Amino acid sequence: MLVETHESQMAPVDLLILGAGWTSTFLIPLLQREGVTYAATTTNGRSGTIPFVFDPDSRDQEPYSRLPRATTVLITFPLKGKGQSNLLTSLYNATHNRRHSNSDSDSGGPETHFIQLGVTNIWTNAGWNSEDSPYDTTDSRAVAEDELMREAQGAVLSLAGLYGGSRQPRHWVQNGRVAGSKADLRARRALHMVHGADVAAGIVATHRRFTAARRWIVCDMHVYDWWELVQDCAGEMARGVAPTVGNDDSDGVEAACRVSGADVERGEELLGWVGELMDEEGVRALPRDPSSLGRMLDGRAFWKTMGVWPMQGRVK
C-alpha cells in the first residue's frame, strides 16, 4: 500500500539515469557538452551517484524519495514481465507529485517522461522488420515494455548490439564467444550494431523530442554479415595484427590487445572455416545476399523522427 507522498530534496534535473552502466560512459559526457542537467544511480552509489536498487517485490517508497525530480527518467536495466514497469513508474510518480500519463487528473507539476532501453530480439521473423512489424508479445522484456507504453505512455528504445570503446566485435571473435565451432559459424547470419556514442545521441534526442507510447529500433542502419566480419577479424589475427582499444576516440583508452601464437592459429582456422562454408553453401562472395541473412532490421524511422543520424559509421 502506498504511503503518504513526499518530495525529494534534491535539485530537479533534466535527465535521471536509473542504472549508470556502460551506456552512461558515452551519455554523461554528451549531457555535459550539451548542458543537459542530470543525475545517475548505481546499486552502490559509486562515483558520486545515488544508490538505488529496483526491487520488483517491494512497494517501499523510500528508495524513490531519494531520487530527484526529472523531466525524463531513463531506465537502463531490464524490466521483465507484468507489473514491474507499472510498479517503478507509479512509485516514482507517487514520491514526486507526478501523475500517471493514463490519468485525467494532475497531482502537481508537468508529467515525467520515461524512456526504457530495450532489445531488438523481440523481432524474430525472417526478412525486414521495422517498428511496425509483428514481434514476440510473450517475450518477458516485450511484456514489460508494452506495459510501460500503455500505463505510463513511455518510450522504448530497442537497441541493436552495443559496441564502442573496449567493447568490439573483434574481441568476441578472438575470445571464442562467436564462432566457437564451424557449426556455430554456419548458423551465424545477420548482425545489427549501434555505437555507444550514437545511443547517447539518440537518448538526448528522445529526451528533447519525446514520443509517447512509441517503440523504436535503434541501430546504425547497417546489416552486417557475420561471415564477413569473422573473415575480417580472422585475417587480422592470422597476420598478428593487434587492434587498439578505443581507437574511435570515444573514451580515450589506448590500450592494445595482445595477439598470441594461439590467436594467429585461431585466425587461420577461422579463415579456413569461412572459405569452406562459402564453398559448401554456394556463396560466391561476401557479404552474402540479404535474402540469405535471415532477420534484418530497418532502423531508419527513429533517426528520421528525431532529426539526427548515426555518426559513427560502420563496424570496422
Residues 53-101: tens digit of each pLDDT: 999 999 999 999 999 999 999 999 999 999 999 999 999 999 997 544 4
pLDDT of residue 313: 87
Overall domain count for the chain: 1
% of the chain with per-residue pLDDT over 70: 87
CB-based contact 67:9 (threshold 8 Å): no
Is residue 253 very low, low, confident or very high in pLDDT (cuts 50, 70, 90)? very low
In a domain, 76, yes or no: yes
Q: Are 37 and 13 in contact (CB under 8 A)?
A: yes
Q: Omega of the bond prior to 287 within 30 degrees of 0, cis? A: yes
Sorted by sequence, the CB contacts under 8 Å of residue 28 that are 6+ apart come out as 17, 20, 38, 40
Asked whether residue 104 carries a pLDDT value surpassing 50, the answer given is: no
Q: Is residue 228 part of a domain?
A: no
What whole-number distance in Å separates Cα of residue 4 and Cα of residue 6? 7
Per-residue pLDDT tens for 302-311?
A: 999 999 999 9
105 band by pLDDT with thresholds 50, 70 and 90: very low
Domain harbouring 45, CATH code: 3.40.50.720
The pLDDT score that the predictor gives to residue 260 is: 81
In a domain, 272, yes or no: no
Q: With CA atoms as reference, report the closest residue to 95 among 108, 113, 82.
A: 108
Range of the domain at 96: 13-165+192-223+295-306
Q: Do β-strands 127-129 and 215-218 pair in parallel, antiparallel, or remain unpaired?
A: unpaired
Over the stretch 197-250, which tens digit does the pLDDT of each residue have? 999 999 999 999 999 999 999 999 999 999 999 999 999 999 988 665 444 444
Percent of the chain at pLDDT > 90 equals 80
* Assigned C-alpha cell, 280: 559448401
Q: Does 276 reside within a domain?
A: no
Query: Rounded CA gap, 75 and 24, in Å?
Result: 11
Mean residue pLDDT across the chain: 90
What is the DSSP-derived secondary structure letter of residue 275? Answer: H
58 residue type, one letter: S
**pLDDT value of position 191:** 97
Average pLDDT over residues 172-176: 90
For residue 5, is it within any domain?
no
**Rounded CA separation 111/107 (Å):** 9
What contacts 279, CB < 8 A, 6 or more positions away? none
What are the cell numbers at 17? 539515469
> Structure pTM?
0.89
Taking only the tens place, the pLDDT of each residue in 106-145 is: 444 568 999 999 999 999 999 999 999 999 999 999 999 9
* Exposed/middle/buried for residue 133 (C-beta within 10 Å: 0-12, 13-18, 19+): middle
| Phi and psi, residue 20, nearest 5° | -85, 85
Residue 173 falls within a domain, yes or no? no
The whole-number pLDDT of residue 41 equals 98
Grid coordinates of 133: 512489424
Looking at residue 256, its pLDDT comes to 42
Place of cell 509517447: 212
Within a domain: residue 64? yes
Please report which confidence band the pLDDT of residue 7 belongs to, taking 50, 70 and 90 as the band edges. very low
Residue 23 lies inside a defined structural domain of this protein: yes
